Amino acid sequence: MLDQLSWKVGGQQGEGVESTGETFAIALNRQGYYVYSFRHFSSRIKGGHSNDKVRVSLQQFRAAADYTDVLLAFDQESIDLNVGEVRQGGIVIADAKFNPTAPDHVRLFTVPLTKLAEEAGSAIMKNMVSLGASACVLGLPIDIFKEVVEERFSRKGQKIVDQNMLAIQSGFNYIKELGGQDPEFALKPADGTRRLFMMGNDAISLGAMAAGARVMAAYPITPASDVMEYLIKKFPKVGGVVVQTEDEIAAMTMTIGAAYGGARALTATSGPGLSLMMEAIGLSGMTETPVVIVDTQRGGPSTGLPTKQEQSDMLAALFGTHGEIPKIVLNPATPEECFYMMGDAFNLAEQYQCPVIVMTDLQLSLSKQTTEPLKLESVRIDRGDLADKNAVESAAAGEFKRYELTDSGISPRVFPGTKGGLHHVTGVEHMETGRPNETAPNRKKMMEKRMRKLHGVEFPFSVERTGDEQPDILLVGVGSNIGAIGEAMGRLKADGLKVAHVQVRALLPFPTNLLQNAIQDAKQVVVVENNATGQLRNLMSFFNVHHDRISNLLKYDGTPFLPVEIYRYCKELV
C-alpha cells in the first residue's frame, strides 16, 4: 500500500489534460489527502504537449515528486516524454487508439479510452474513462468522483452526469478485467478531512478582496491574469471595479490614481509588465502613494519562458525604478501565505505610504494544492496614518501639509474630496505642502524623510528558520522552493545529517540581521533559487550577510526544483 502517490496525465494541449488532472486532484483532496499539482504547459493554445502531475499523500508536500507511479497518456508523445520518470514497475495507462508502446521497466495497460467513451455517450468523455481506469489501479472507489462530476455537469442535466459516471465505471471495469487492481498501488485511505484546494493566484485574489482592495487595474499576462479574472467575477459582490487597461503603464498609474483617491488598489503582472511599471513605481514612492503590485515571476528575460518557472525578477523588484524610494518587497511561499500576505501588503503600503511588491513565482502562482482553512477574521485592516477628517474640516483655512516632516517620516494623509485638506501632490521634489521645491536643503530634508520610513526596519516574518541547531547544511530559499527544500531536508536528516532551512519572506527592507543570525551557526549554507546568476545569494552579499562557506544551487531551465536535485547537491557537499 502507498502512503503517497505520484500520478501524471499527459496529452496535447486542448485535449482535456487540465480538466482530467483537476477532477482527479479535487476528488482526492476531498477524501482528505494532501494534493499538490503542477501543470506543465507551453505558450501554444492548442497542440503541444502538456501534462499535469499530481502528488497525493497523507502528509503535506509542497513540491512535485521526483518520480511518477502512474502515467496516464493520451498520446505516444506523452509516453515518450514522461516515461523516463516512471518508476521501475510503475504503470502506464494509454489509449488503445494510438497503439501505444512503452519500455520494459513499466507495466503498460492499453485501454480503449476513446472507444469506451463513445460507448458511454461521447468521445470527449475519454478523460472520465481514464479516471475510472486510474481509480481501479489505485484501489479507489469511483464514488469519489461523483460529487465533482455532479458539480461540473449538473447544469447540463442528469443524463450527462449519468453518462460521465458510466464512462468512469467502464474505465474502472476494463482495468479490473485486465487484472490491473494491484495492492501494491493501492493508496492508504485518508481521514476525510475537508481542506481547500487552490493555487497561489487564487489565494492572492482572495487575500486582496479580504484586505479591502476594491480597485484593480491590470493588463493580461501569464501567469498573473487569473488574479484579474477572478476579481472581475467577485468584485460586483463587493462594489469594486477591475479595469483591463491598455498596458501596464496605465495599470500602474491607474492604481496610483485610485490609491491617491482613497481606495485600496492593486495591479498584478509578470516580469515584462513589471519593467513597464518601473517609472510609475518611482512616482508612487515619491508621492508616497500606497499601492500593491503583484509580480508573478516567470522565465525571462524578454518574453523568455512565459509558461515556465523562474525567480529572476528579484533584482528588478528591489532596484528596478529610477532614483531612490522606500519600497517593500514581500515573498510568500504557499497559498496560505499569499492570502495573509496580501493583507499585510495593503497594511504595510498604507502604514509606510510606499509601493509594496508581492512576488510569487509561476510554480506558486499556478500549482493547485491542498490549503489549510483561510480565516477572514485574521485579516486586519490598518489604513495607516490618516488625518482626522473632522479635524481637517474644521481647521482654520491654510494648506494641508501632506508631506509634513515627522520623526517617523510618515505624514498623515487626507483623501481628495475632504474639505480643508486641499493640497498638491507631485513627482517633482516638493515641500511639506506638496508644492514643488528643488532647493538643496529641501531636497535633503525630504529625501531623508522618505528614507526614514523604512530605515532600520526588519519585519520579523521576513526570515523563518526551521530545523537543527548547528546544522551541517542550512538551505536558504525563497518562494515556492520551500516545498522541494523541505523534502530534501527530510531525506538528508534520514541520512543522519543535521540540517536547517531558512525561508526568506521579505526581500525589502532586507532582513540583514535576522538572516545573519539565522545562518551563522551553520557549517555550510546553500542558497537555492531558480535563476542563473544567484540573485538571492548576491542580495545577501550586497546587504552584508556573511558566511565563510556559502554556495548557490541554481536552476534556470524553466522547471521547478525536484527534491532529489537539492538532496544530491547537498550530499556531494558534505
Partner 1 sequence: MATVKDFRNDIRPNWCPGCGDFSVQASIQRALAAMGKEPHEVAIISGIGCSGRISGYINTYGFHGVHGRSLPTAQGVKLANRNLTVIASGGDGDGFGIGLNHFMHAVRRNMDITYIVMDNQIYGLTKGQHSPTSAHGFKAKTTPEGNIENALVPTQIALAAGIGFLGQGFSSDVNQLVSLIQQGIQYKGFALINVFSPCVTYNKINTYDWYREHVYNLDNVPDYDPTDRAAAMKMVIETHGLCTGLIYKDESRVAYEDQVPGYAANPLVDEDLHLDAKVFEEAIREFA
Residues 14-53 that bind partner 1 (CB under 8 A): 30
Q: Which of 374, 463, 478, 562 binds partner 1 (CB under 8 A)?
A: 374
Cβ at position 156, least distance to partner 1 in Å: 19
Helices (H), 331-376: 335-352, 362-366
Q: Which stretch binds partner 1 (CB under 8 A): 35-43, 102-110, 229-237, 442-450?
A: 229-237
Distance CA 79, CA 101 (A): 8
Alpha-carbon span 325 to 19, nearest angstrom: 45
Closest to partner 1 by CB, 94 vs 258, is: 258
Q: Helix, strand or coil for residue 510?
A: coil
Counting Cα atoms < 13 Å in the Cβ hemisphere of 143 gives 2
Task: Using the minimum distance from each CB to partner 1, give the nearer residue, 183 or 239.
Answer: 239
C-alpha cell belonging to residue 507: 526581500
Mark the segment that binds partner 1 (CB under 8 A) among 43-51, 135-143, 249-257, 545-553. Answer: 249-257
> What residues numbered 187-206 form the site for partner 1, per CB under 8 A?
194-198, 202, 206
Residue 422 interacts with partner 1 (CB under 8 A): yes or no: yes
| In the complex, least distance from residue 239 CB atom to partner 1, rounded to whole angstroms | 3
Least distance (Å) between residue 400 CB and partner 1:
10
Region 423-482 residues binding partner 1, contact defined as CB under 8 A: 423-428, 434-436
What DSSP string describes 195-260? -EEE-HHHHHHHHHHHTTEEEEEE---TTTHHHHHHHHHHHHHHT-EEEE-SSHHHHHHHHHHHHH
Q: What's the number of CA atoms in the CB half-sphere (13 Å) around residue 476? A: 30
Least Å distance between CB 293 and partner 1?
A: 14
Reference 461, options 416, 511, 422; nearest CA is 511
Cβ closer to partner 1: 434 or 479?
434
Other beta carbons within 10 Å of 394 = 10
Q: Does 237 bind partner 1 (CB under 8 A)?
A: yes
Give yes or no for a cis peptide into 509 (omega within 30° of 0): yes
Q: Is 376 an interacting residue with respect to partner 1 (CB under 8 A)?
A: yes
Binding mask 279-318 for partner 1 (x = CB under 8 A): xx-xx---x-------------------------------
Note whether 384 binds partner 1 by CB under 8 A.
Answer: no
> Contacts with partner 1 in 252-271 (CB under 8 A)?
253-265
* Residue matched to cell numbers 476513446: 114
Is the Cβ of residue 374 or residue 504 nearer to partner 1 in the bound state?
A: 374
Left, alpha or beta for 423 (phi > 0: left; psi -120 to 50: alpha)? beta
Residues of span 88-117 touching partner 1 by CB under 8 A: none
Q: Show the binding pattern over residues 398-417: x = contacts partner 1 (CB under 8 A), - = does not.
A: -----------------xxx
Q: How many CB atoms lie within 10 A of CB 307?
A: 20
Task: Give me the helix-helix angle, 225-238 and 200-210, nearest 10°.
Answer: 30
Selected from 121, 139, 212, 220, the binder of partner 1 by CB under 8 A is 212
Only one of the segments 77-85, 119-127, 230-238, 354-362 lies at the binding site for partner 1 (rule: CB under 8 A); that segment is 230-238
Taking CB under 8 A as the rule, does residue 241 contact partner 1? yes
